[in-house]
Amino acid sequence: MQLSNMLRFKMGWAEPAGPSHEVVLSSRVRLARNLSGRPFPGRSTPKATAAVLSEALAAARKAKALAKAASILLEELEETERVFLVERYLISRLLAQATRSRGVVVGEREILSLMINEEDHLRLQGIDSGLCLEKLFDQTDSVDDDLSRSLEFAFHPDWGYLAACPTNAGTGLRASCLVHLPGLGLTGQINRVLDGLSRLGVVVRGLYGEGTKVTGDLYQVSNATALGPAERSLISSVSKVVGTLVQRELEARRSLAEGSHGTRLEDLVYRSLGVLQNARVISYEESMQHLSYIRLALSLGWKIPASLDAVNELTVLARPGHIQMLAGRALDAGERDFLRASLLRKKFS
Amino acid sequence: MLCSRCGKNEASVHFKQIVNNQVAQIDLCVDCAKSADLPGAAVSPIFDLLSKLGGLPPGREARPKDLLCRACGLRYSSFRETGMLGCPSCYESFAGPLSAVLKQIHGASRHGGKAPAGSPDRRRIEEDAAKLRELLKKAVAAEDFEEAARLRDRLRALGRD
Ligand SMILES: [Zn+2]
Ligand SMILES: [Zn+2]
């Protein structure tokens, strides 16, 4: 399979269609599953790992929602292609590193995907636009049921689904939302708001999973625990917290756009537009900060020569692996910054 | 601006980081940035887990004897180092100390969610849910709304509302 073909297709979550998409860039639901009686991938033999891969691929082919999915074997990919898949939220860094007998099944519009032999035998994921955790759980839940008809999952009556790391035992669920909070950042409320979240059973991370770095005012909010409450109850807690964040962010955005503040915001936005339209060399970090202000302006309905879906896509397209995929070869940082700037100029012309 | 770590060199790497649910501005020189947890570098949830393991009250774990999982050969001491178990049977082999660990991590020790299709646990959940739905219907018919609300909560707890 030619991964560069994927560049021509839109990622489903990037389409600004879901509820509260002006603040919630995407929602993601992940279920961790393991086969009973087999060592976890980290302690498995090459032969056992290969067996899990082929059984999992066969089971995925029988799952209704994955009928048109593409199966990708990591060992057949170049390094640049693996980075590309990490950036598209389809595989983790861990899976990109250990490639032998590792795979990923990618469904239509890249909404459903299944990582095989990551930390756990199976990591089923659903990702889509806006605040839509319930819908994504319905979808992954039914794929999970289909898979469990061909595979015997490790399950304990008290501890639920057993995972390689006990933090994932129980439901194996992580429900997370990627939220865009430039308003709370600009009004200086972000720390007070995030502080309040730690008591509500959620964890806040930066853009790419476990990292703590904040890029482009994007934050990932997810459930802190996975064992005890039923999946739908864990999901509704995260949805509630995110719903509150959406309200606070929208209030902050309105106050930023009013009166004398309005001119300052306008200045910030149009300076960012100027950079994106004119820069000859730009890093990912810097482009994300400018894209953040453009995204804010678009959500306020300002007339800017760009669309929300283009900006959503650029948060991924401007990443190093995507720039290299566009060039068709590995590039050094200087070359990437040059190519990124010309990509952005084209998108904002 | 000087590097916030060594305080000697000019800071040239700037980024924001979430520390304890707070956004902090980090300014580092090139040398310190290389040795620091670099932006984007994966911070595994295992660190968090290990700090929780370290926080377990002594004596609640089988310390004198290092437990062994016969199915995969993993020792409990090795799990304490990495935070990773070797196979599903590890949960039985280390059941004593692990139940304390799970309680510590999740604040709960009983799974309340779904079970694999066709498993006895799934059948039990379906039967319980069917019974509750039946009772709910009766409660609604009898206009006992307090009871109905209570039953709805129980259905929700089963993930079957
Ligand atoms: Zn320094
Ligand atoms: Zn074991």
Q: Which residues of A touch B22 (CB under 8 A)?
A: 191, 194-195
Which helix (H) or strand (E) element contains residue A70? Answer: strand A70-73
Q: Which of A299, A106, A156 is nearest to B119 (CA)?
A: A156
Cα gap A292→A214, rounded to integer Å: 12
Tell me the chain A residues in contact with residue B96 when contact means C-beta distances shorter than 8 Å. none
| Model confidence at B39: pLDDT above 60 | no
Of B85, B115, B158, the CB nearest to A40: B85
Task: List the CATH number of the domain containing A69.
Answer: 3.30.590.10
Tokens of A20: 């509260």
Cβ contact B87–A226 (<8 Å)? no
Q: What percent of chain B has pLDDT over 70?
A: 76
Domain boundary among A225, A253, A281: A253
What is the model's pLDDT at position A104?
Answer: 97
Of A200, A233, A253, at which residue does a domain stop? A253
Quote the domain boundaries for residue A95. 3-253
A189 and A302 in a single domain? The answer is: no
Which of B58 and A47 is assigned the larger pLDDT? A47
A268 in the same domain as A233 = no
Q: How many domains does chain A have?
A: 2
In which band, very low, low, confident or very high, does the pLDDT at B59 lie, cut at 50, 70 and 90?
very low
Query: Nearest C-alpha of chain B: how many angstroms from A139?
Result: 14
The answer to whether the CB atoms of B72 and A173 lie below 8 A apart is no
Domain end, chosen from A233, A253, A273, is at A253
A112: closest CA among A78, A89, A94, A96? A89
Q: Which ligand is nearest to the CA of A34?
A: 2
Query: Do A29 and A173 fall within a single domain?
Result: yes
Cβ atoms B98, A162 nearer than 8 A: no
**Domain co-membership, A302 together with A153:** no
Task: Examine the domain organization and report whether A298 and A201 are in the same domain.
Answer: no
Distance between CA atoms of B98 and B126, rounded to whole angstroms? 29
Instruction: Note whether B159 contacts A36, CB cutoff 8 Å.
Output: no
Residues A194 and A333 placed together within one structural domain of the fold:
no
Query: Strand, helix or coil at B55?
Result: coil
Whether A114 and A193 map to the same domain: the answer is: yes
Domain borders along chain B are: 13-106, 120-158
ipTM: 0.90
Instruction: Look at B39 and A23; give whichever has higher pLDDT.
Output: A23
Closest B-chain CA to A172: B113
Dihedral through CA A329, CA A331, CA A335, CA A340, nearest 10? 70
pTM, two decimals, is: 0.86
Residue A266 has a pLDDT of: 95
According to the model, what pLDDT value does residue B23 have? 73
To the nearest whole angstrom, how far is the Cα of B152 from the nearest Cα of chain A? 13
- Residue B55 confidence (pLDDT): 52
Confidence at residue B42, expressed as pLDDT on a 0 to 100 scale = 37
A·B CB contacts under 8 A: 179
Mean pLDDT calculated for residue range B17-22: 68
User: How close is the Cα of A209 to the center of ligand 2, in Å?
Assistant: 27
Residue A53 sits in the same domain as residue A80: yes
Task: HSE, CB side, 13 Å, CA atoms: give it for residue B8.
Answer: 4
Mutate which of A194, A210, A222, A231 to disrupt the B interface (most B C-beta within 10 Å)? Answer: A210
* Nearest CB to B111 within list A158, A197, A198: A158
Q: What is the pLDDT of residue A38?
A: 97
Question: What span, in angstroms and rounded, lies between the C-alpha atoms of A165 and B46?
Answer: 8
B60-91 residue pLDDT tens:
444 557 899 999 999 999 998 889 999 999 99
Q: Cβ of A36 under 8 Å from any chain B Cβ?
A: yes
Preferred mutation among A30, A31, A43, A87 to probe B, highest tally of B CBs within 10 A: A43
* Residues A249 and A323 both lie in one domain: no
What's the average pLDDT block by block, 10 residues per block, for chain A (349 residues)?
79 94 97 98 96 98 94 94 93 90 96 97 98 98 96 96 96 97 94 86 74 82 94 95 96 91 93 97 95 96 92 94 93 96 95
Considering the domain architecture, whether residues A231 and A288 belong to the same structural domain is answered as no
Which residues of chain B are within 8 Å of residue A206 when distances are taken between CB atoms? 17-18
**Average pLDDT of B13-31?**
74
Residues A114 and A184 in one domain: yes
Q: Do B84 and A42 touch (CB under 8 A)?
A: yes
| Distance of alpha carbon B66 from alpha carbon B74, whole angstroms | 10
